[in-house]
Amino acid sequence: TKAAEEGLNLRKYRRRFRWCSRVLVLSREMQDFYGPARATHCGQPQPPIDYIYSVVDFERMRPLPPEQRRALRRQLGIAEDVFAIGFIATFNDKKNQLAYVRQAAPRLRECFPAARTYFVGYFHPTTDAYARRCVEAARAQQVEPWLHFVGFTKDVERWYQACDAVVIPTRKEGLARCMIEALACGTPVVSFDVASAREILEAHRCGEVVRQGDYEELARALARLAQRPALRAEYAAQGTACARRLFSAATCLEK
């Protein structure tokens, strides 16, 4: 879906939907977002808009037993006393890493210095201008020791499993895959108010949602999670249950 400042181009989507017998989206919030673009024929809105959640691969995306998780963190170079935050996304403006580095990282450094953010996703600052600006911003904000640019990995589930929280400070989403995969791995999520975040995280009490663009509250929410292990455990248990209930292949195939 579009970012809040972009809105919905009703004319464009009405033209598109006019040729459809059915529209499928990824969540109820997306269904509501596109609802006004349904064309009207003989006084009745059409076409119907339905939602089907994405499927998660539970063979890969699953929590680890504590000893295996500790061993994995050692393999990935995450110190035992570090509160590890995963930012799982390729580097581009929509995913908003640059604003996170400039605005959230300095606040997080102040309110919880033991936190470290691990950026996992395609990352080539030598050839990609956006990635390069993120590195330069980390240096300018003096937060380099608190940020780790991991780059692309085929085994992304290892980072979901090893991190203490996943952050989604993006400008726009549909149903963020990193959100539902993190929940399946038992990792709580803190997200800006993008599409589907409240529907999943708040409704099923498995994470926290922050007003779009409020980096101070984003940092505070992450710090609260870091300081409250019982809350993290509660979110983790409810997140895995939620993921199994909503994002299984059987459920999605049935719909």
Measured distance between the N- and C-terminal CA atoms of the chain, rounded to whole angstroms = 21
Q: Omega of the bond prior to 47 within 30 degrees of 0, cis?
A: yes
pLDDT score for 41: 67
45 pLDDT exceeds 90? no
pLDDT score for 2: 78
Q: Residue 218 belongs to what H/E stretch?
A: helix 215-227
How far is residue 161 from each of residues 10, 68, 77, 164, 182, measured CA to CA in Å? 41, 10, 14, 8, 8
Is pTM beyond 0.75? Reply is yes
pLDDT digits (tens, 9 = 90+) for 219-230: 999 999 999 999
In whole angstroms, give the CA distance from residue 243 to residue 233: 15
32 pLDDT exceeds 70? yes
pLDDT digits (tens, 9 = 90+) for 64-96: 999 999 999 999 999 999 999 999 999 999 999
In whole angstroms, give the CA distance from residue 98 to residue 83: 21
**Which residue is associated with the tokens 């990792």?**
187
pLDDT digits (tens, 9 = 90+) for 104-150: 999 999 999 999 999 999 999 999 999 999 999 999 999 999 999 99
Q: Residue 33 belongs to what H/E stretch?
A: helix 28-34
In whole angstroms, give the CA distance from residue 254 to residue 252: 5
Q: What is the residue type of 86? A: G
> Which of 233, 239, 231, 226 has the alpha carbon at shortest distance from 116?
226
How far is residue 231 from each of residues 20, 62, 67, 158, 208, measured CA to CA in Å? 45, 19, 21, 22, 11
22 pLDDT exceeds 80? yes
pLDDT score for 39: 74
